[in-house]
Amino acid sequence: MSAVLCEAFQADYWKPVQAGLPRDTDTVARLISNHKTVCHIERFLLRTAVSPHAAAKIDGVSITLDQFRRPDTQNHLIVEGAGGCLVPLNDEHLMADLIATLGMEAIVVSNHYLGSINHTLMTLEALKNRGIPVKGLIFNGEPNAETERIIQRMSGVRCLLRIAREVSVDKAVVRKYAMLLNEHWHE
């Protein structure tokens, strides 16, 4: 999703915390076609693919909110979280706290699976309760009109894009969805 957003808006990319490999920064850089996007280095690059708080403990690193500064850029910036908005960064702070600290809006990606309505609505409610603005939803997977309808109706959050299940993702696929996103962004 981040590659599509970066491609659509020729925005810079930053993943503040990467836990495990492969690096999402490398994936985004490989999938974008525009020459304006700059991929910024992670603040924390942790070795183990687990929650950031646990990966930091394994690596002997302490993560605190005051260690994060938005990259210096005049461009739009897409910031990718690590896990969901309630994933812990440490024993006191969640990913949502980092979003708020950075003064960012959120775009919520909802994958279609049994339980996704509950998961998506809880995520949107958690963001709302923390005063974090939500720009919109991206639905991912096989289309499910009823799931999408009820999530939008119950949350009041609009759909920005629908991404079908793709056999593989390459630059052409990213460009296709970036064009669709641009077409519907201001609706």
Give tens-digit pLDDT for 14-42: 999 999 999 999 999 999 999 999 999 99
pLDDT average, residue stretch 140-169: 96
- 2-184, which class in CATH? alpha beta
Contact 12, 77 (CB under 8 A): yes
Amino acid identity for residue 136 in this structure? G
The residue from 15, 128, 135, 171 that is catalytic is 15
Instruction: List the chain domain ranges.
Output: 2-184
User: What is the per-residue pLDDT for 164?
Assistant: 95
Residue keyed to tokens 């949350």: 155
Considering the entire predicted model, what is its pTM? 0.95
Residue 15 annotated as catalytic: yes
User: What is the per-residue pLDDT for 184?
Assistant: 80
Contact 39, 28 (CB under 8 A): yes
